Amino acid sequence: MDQGRRDFLQHSARLGAFALASATLWRIDPALAQSGSGRELATMSIVELSHLLASRKITSRQLVEQALAAIKDPQGEGLRTFLSVHESEALAAADRVDARRRGGAMLPALAGIPISIKDLFDEAGVTTLGGSKVLVGTPAATRDSIVVERLKKAGAVIIGRTNCVEFAYSGLGINPHYGTPKNAFDRATGRIPGGSSSGAAVSVTDGMAAGAIGTDTGGSIRIPSALNGLVGFKPTARRVPLDGVLPLSFTLDSAGPIAKTVADCALLDQVLAAEARSVPAPAHLRGLRFAVPKTVFQNDLSPAVADAFTAALGRLSAAGATVVELPMAEFAQAAAVNPRGALTSAEAYWWHRQWMKDGADKYDPRVIVRIRPGETITAANYIELMKLREQFIRTINAAASGYDAMLMPTTPDTAPTIAEASKDDETYARLNLRMLRNPAIVNLFDGCALSVPCQEPGTAPVGMMIAGTQNTDRRILAIGLAVEHVVWKRRGCSWLVS
């Protein structure tokens, strides 16, 4: 058997395994699933779209045209979701993929799939703004970031650059410069999308992209995923190179995917991490041991989150997993490791100090106020925090040993309204700290984590976090493939309609 045929069969087998793993996870109205419906991008997973493309039941151009139509919809969120749309480039890229497929080429799973990227990733010839006005007029990037390079090599079509919190420094998703895209749930009321990867999540819920690439320093992938009923994966920080990515905290930053399913996130992660091995197979739930820490993570949960999380744990137990609730008091140390965000602000100030000197008035006041404290942190203070973090990582690694993963609510609240979050500085700061509280701890212990939906159909989205220690990414993805099916069996899309 020649190598090309072997590669094609291996590719088909991987997609088949993905489809089998996700078939019961992403249930779609059969009428919408028919090729030619015009809603494939909004309703189907990347894995399913890849099958349609490979069988030539749909073209990449059709998917890109669906994305562009959703972005341009005057009743939609496109103007607030994207800072830049690559219309002509995306259509040309789609045509190239379609031509190769017509010619019989065996293409990667992502070939022809529209993907959005957060406005932190460099693209050659484009100025990276970071959701700010500060960098308007600065020189364009001279080369693509490694993340963009890898996506293009895999054949993904970059549809455009998504809006985010200015310089990625908030978990709420509010941007006073370019507007705030509304959460997919209860759109008439207008709820926060979560941040900082706000536009990334909304681009997926609204069918403007099949998947999105964001960054996560304290929850910026997992928060918007949880609040919008999506899956988000924060990898171990070193798994995906950050060359050509505008930094917030070079110690805590990571880059990863937001998508409709765990299978989609695993596929995107394989590309972003240039993982040579095939994507992991779903784990078997029976016999898995899950630690459910109560300290910090379950403090003062809103009733909606507490109820959804408790019900999800019950479903996992019924499915044969061992769910162990325990204090894990070690997590109380997190407050001392990054007191009032000191570690983050110190590293943010290092990058922003010149921009702040010459253009502080251009910053979002609620962002610059979080950067300024970094100016007063001494070298000794900073080193002390780094040493405390090293000890915290060792402590959590020891506490988590003996368990396959840790489970916790992604956020303690469902999405508040944009009006409430914007009301005044005190409310903004309070809600922001609550949104960041749980997911940020994973960054502190250098872990990896998925957020998967666990709410009842028709109710406000709630995320369950599946967390592991550093470099257990493949194991967490394998577990996520199994957990997702149990904690969110009925995945209807009706609530996505505004």
CATH, residue 206: 3.90.1300.10
- Tell me how far apart the alpha carbons of residues 455 and 414 are, in angstroms, rounded to a whole number: 10
pLDDT in tens, 293-303: 999 999 999 99
Residues ≥6 apart with Cβ < 8 Å to 235 = 254, 255, 256, 269, 272, 273, 448, 473
Whether the predicted pLDDT of 45 surpasses 80: yes
Q: What token pair was written down for 486?
A: 């149990």
pLDDT of residue 28: 37
How would residue 36 be classed by pLDDT, with cut points 50, 70 and 90? low
Whether the predicted pLDDT of 427 surpasses 50: yes
- Tell me how far apart the alpha carbons of residues 456 and 451 are, in angstroms, rounded to a whole number: 16
Going from the C-alpha of 401 to that of each of 289, 472, 475, the distances in angstroms are 10, 12, 14
pLDDT of residue 178: 98
User: Which region holds residue 155: left if phi is over 0, alpha if psi is between -120 and 50, else beta?
Assistant: left
4-18, 73-87, 265-279, 319-333: least confidently modelled range = 4-18
pLDDT of residue 12: 42
Mean pLDDT of the chain, nearest integer:
92
- Tell me how far apart the alpha carbons of residues 133 and 393 are, in angstroms, rounded to a whole number: 37
Whether the predicted pLDDT of 34 surpasses 60: no
Helices (H), 146-215: 146-153, 198-205
Mean local confidence (pLDDT), 294-318: 98
DSSP class of 281: P
- Tell me how far apart the alpha carbons of residues 344 and 36 are, in angstroms, rounded to a whole number: 47
How would residue 93 be classed by pLDDT, with cut points 50, 70 and 90? very high
466: helix, coil or strand? strand
The label of the residue with tokens 């930094």 reads 247
Neighbours of 280 (CB within 10 A): 21
- Tell me how far apart the alpha carbons of residues 71 and 48 are, in angstroms, rounded to a whole number: 22
pLDDT in tens, 238-252: 999 999 999 999 999
pLDDT in tens, 247-290: 999 999 999 999 999 999 999 999 999 999 999 999 999 999 99
Burial annotation 324-351 (CB, 10 A radius, 16+ → b, else e): eeeebebbebbeebbeebbbbbbbbbbb
Q: What token pair was written down for 439?
A: 């997911």
Q: What token pair was written down for 498?
A: 């505004």
pLDDT of residue 33: 44
Give the E-state strand segments of 155-220 in sequence order.
157-162, 211-215
Q: pLDDT over 90 for what percent of the chain? A: 90
Whether the predicted pLDDT of 31 surpasses 70: no
pLDDT of residue 85: 98
Query: Do 235 and 257 form a contact (C-beta atoms < 8 A)?
Result: no
Q: pLDDT over 70 for what percent of the chain? A: 91
Query: Do 123 and 167 form a contact (C-beta atoms < 8 A)?
Result: no
9: helix, coil or strand? helix
Mean local confidence (pLDDT), 188-195: 98
How would residue 37 be classed by pLDDT, with cut points 50, 70 and 90? confident
Helices (H), 56-205: 60-72, 78-81, 87-102, 146-153, 198-205
3-7, 147-151, 335-339: least confidently modelled range = 3-7
Domain count, the chain: 1
Q: What token pair was written down for 331?
A: 């997590």
Sign of the dihedral through C-alpha 231, 237, 243, 249: positive
Query: Which residues form the domain of 254?
Result: 3-496
Q: What token pair was written down for 266?
A: 């695993």
Query: Do 452 and 262 form a contact (C-beta atoms < 8 A)?
Result: yes
Q: What token pair was written down for 77?
A: 């969120």
157-162 vs 114-118, strand pairing mode: parallel
pLDDT of residue 174: 98
Mean local confidence (pLDDT), 335-356: 97
Q: Which residues are catalytic?
A: 118, 196, 220
Query: Do 234 and 221 form a contact (C-beta atoms < 8 A)?
Result: yes
